[in-house]
Amino acid sequence: MLTIYASLYPLEGWHNHGLSPFAYIDAPWPRYITTFDLAVNLIGYMPYGFLCVAALEPRLRGVGATAVAIGSAFVLSLVLEAAQSYLPARVAVNLDVLCNVAGAALGAALGAVLMPRWMREGPMARARGALFLPGVDIDVGLILIGLWLFVQLNPATLLFAAGDLRDLVAATPGRARRPEFFAGIEAFTAAANLVGVGLMLSALAKPGQPVRSLIVALVGVALAVKIAAFAVLMHAENVLVWLTPGAQYGLLAGLAAVLFAVAMPRTARLAVAAVLLMIATVLVNLAPPNPYLAATLKLWQQGHFLNFNGLTRLVSALWAFAALAYLIYLASRRRDPGG
């Protein structure tokens, strides 16, 4: 689903050009081919191949799982490229299909080699068993935290924010506000999301584990991901443009608050996390446009960045609601190991 959305983003301006949607297959290769374009298409389908093999484990392994991943990626890429021919912002290219299939093949081969080991005796499995509670429901929470880290790749969002639905519902921009108003919303949104995610992580950990260290490490990884995203998309002087006054206040206040709040009982932590994520989601949808980033994000809306832009926007929009539902589910189970 994420691959489909990313490939067809921005999902507007559909028109029939009068040609076969598969006319691109025997068309000449594009005249101008850049290494970046090839890399984006290659890397974009690597997770698909890897996750396809992971989903088939243990029912199908090795060559069989790899073949299914490559074949399904080929069919999916053909169909999505054909659909792109109806979008004015996209261009169907036969070379993209080859790159997509190659990326899926690399991801599938990697999954075929690593998945059996990782699921049984790999370092990830050992760390998972040592630090976190057992159960599939806990695995779901860890996946949500991983997706929250992925959301940080989108430079158009406020620090640590998620749940912005305005791009999906095409809402009109609100009236202009003073910079102090925006800074206040940004600070609270960053702090509330940091506390919410940190408390969620603490609820997944086994009793006696260094929860505060895990939270600090998670925040450090999130900041590294944010910096890496800006390093790729912006000039060197703009790598820290996201670290606005509001983001700084929110980061410091949120980190201090979550390190204190982990002492609460598990059920209370889940309730506080859910409330904070809900309030932050409402505020991020009411926030005015970011005055610090508007002039630096033009590249993010163009070319092959459309694929990645669409993917991060979709995950960002849906993450907060999935996390809220998950927190309610955990609280309803009334499992309180060690307080």
Per-residue pLDDT of the chain (339 residues; tens, 9 = 90+): 556 655 666 666 677 776 777 766 766 766 666 666 677 777 778 888 887 887 777 677 778 888 888 888 888 888 877 777 777 666 667 778 888 888 889 888 888 777 666 555 556 667 777 788 888 888 889 989 988 988 887 776 778 888 877 666 655 555 555 656 677 888 999 999 999 999 999 999 988 889 999 999 999 999 988 887 777 666 656 677 778 888 899 999 999 999 999 999 999 999 999 999 999 988 888 776 655 555 445 444 444 444 455 567 778 888 889 999 999 998 887 654 444
Residue at 202: amino acid letter: S
Q: Where are the alpha helices (DSSP H) in 119-178?
A: 123-131, 136-151, 166-169
pTM for the predicted model, two decimal places: 0.67
Where exactly are the structural domains of the chain?
Answer: 2-120, 129-333
Q: Are 77 and 100 in contact (CB under 8 A)?
A: yes
Of 197, 195, 156, nearest to 287 (Cα)?
A: 156
CA pair distance 129, 127, nearest whole angstrom: 5
Q: Are 46 and 107 in contact (CB under 8 A)?
A: yes
Which residues lie across from 132 on neighbouring strands? 205
Which residues lie across from 205 on neighbouring strands? 132
Residue 264 has what DSSP assignment? S
Cβ count near 285 (within 10 Å): 17
Q: Are 241 and 293 in contact (CB under 8 A)?
A: yes
CA pair distance 118, 102, nearest whole angstrom: 23
Bond into 10 cis (ω within 30): yes
Contacts of 108 (CB under 8 A, 6+ apart): 49, 50, 52, 53, 65, 66, 69, 70, 73
Q: Which pairs with CB-CB distance under 8 Å and at least 24 residues apart come from 99-102?
A: 99/38, 99/41, 99/42, 99/45, 100/41, 100/42, 100/44, 100/45, 100/73, 100/74, 101/45, 101/70, 101/73, 101/74, 101/77, 102/42, 102/45
Bond into 58 cis (ω within 30): yes
CA pair distance 73, 96, nearest whole angstrom: 12
Contacts of 321 (CB under 8 A, 6+ apart): 163, 281
CA distances, 256 to each of 226, 249, 261, 301 (Å): 20, 11, 9, 35
Residue 339 has what DSSP assignment? -
Q: Which two tokens stand for residue 205?
A: 């950990």
